[in-house]
Amino acid sequence: MVSKVKIPKLYRERELDILGNKVLIRGYRPIDHDYVVALISKQGQLPELIKKEDKIKGLMQGVFQKMAQSGKQPTEEEINKELLKNISVEDFDDLMAIKEEQERLQGELQVLSEALAQRGLKRFFYRNDPEFIQAERENRGTEYIDSLDPIEIDPDNMLLVATTMIELGSPVKPLPVDDKGK
């Protein structure tokens, strides 16, 4: 039954400009929570990997600067020899492992971001679609939009939509704690 009382919007929204298209994004819904938790968890792993990578790259940069100061163009063999004098094989292996882990994490982040962003975009574009409205009334709106063809969007804007949904769906301030600590 449709209410005769006009109820205002009681959720946060943000208008994004995606390649000249105005898209109104809302925070994530409880059904999106698994994507959100996985995204935040994987994003949290990246800084530690970057810190390790920067340490090893700093050592390598020092070698390159030292060689550049000599004034001659070193051969690849000379570069490799100098690197091996200053950087252990383990450090180099660690760098390769870090790169692989970063690529794996970036791939997982992209998959999760796309799934979340697709839901946000479809909720916007299909908001007036009678089938979507009916599915929402029957509490199967997410199931309905998940069955639709994906909306084409580049990776940068996909990540923008996903992070906007997370930001808008997160509490603005911590929930109050009662006097019993619960």
Work out the mean pLDDT of the chain and round it to a whole number.
86
CA dihedral (41, 43, 44, 45) positive or negative: positive
Quick one: 92 exposed, middle or buried, by C-beta within 10 A (0-12, 13-18, 19+)? Answer: middle
Amino acid (one-letter) located at 72 = K
Please name which of 41, 51, 170, 165 lies closest in space to residue 109, comparing C-alpha atoms.
Answer: 41
pLDDT digits (tens, 9 = 90+) for 42-99: 888 888 888 878 877 777 777 777 777 877 777 778 777 777 777 777 877 887 888 8
Give the integer Cα–Cα distance in Å for 17 and 143. Answer: 27
* pLDDT value, residue 120: 96
* 120 neighbors 161 (Cβ within 8 angstroms): yes
Confidence of residue 21 (pLDDT cuts 50, 70, 90): very high
* pLDDT value, residue 177: 57
Residue 91 C-beta-side C-alpha neighbours within 13 Å: 15
Dihedral of CA atoms 65, 67, 70, 74 in degrees, nearest 10, equals -140
pTM (two decimals)? 0.72
**N-term to C-term CA, the chain:** 38
pLDDT surpassing 80 at residue 172:
no
Confidence of residue 27 (pLDDT cuts 50, 70, 90): very high
Confidence of residue 176 (pLDDT cuts 50, 70, 90): low
* 114 neighbors 158 (Cβ within 8 angstroms): yes
pLDDT digits (tens, 9 = 90+) for 96-114: 888 888 889 989 999 999 9
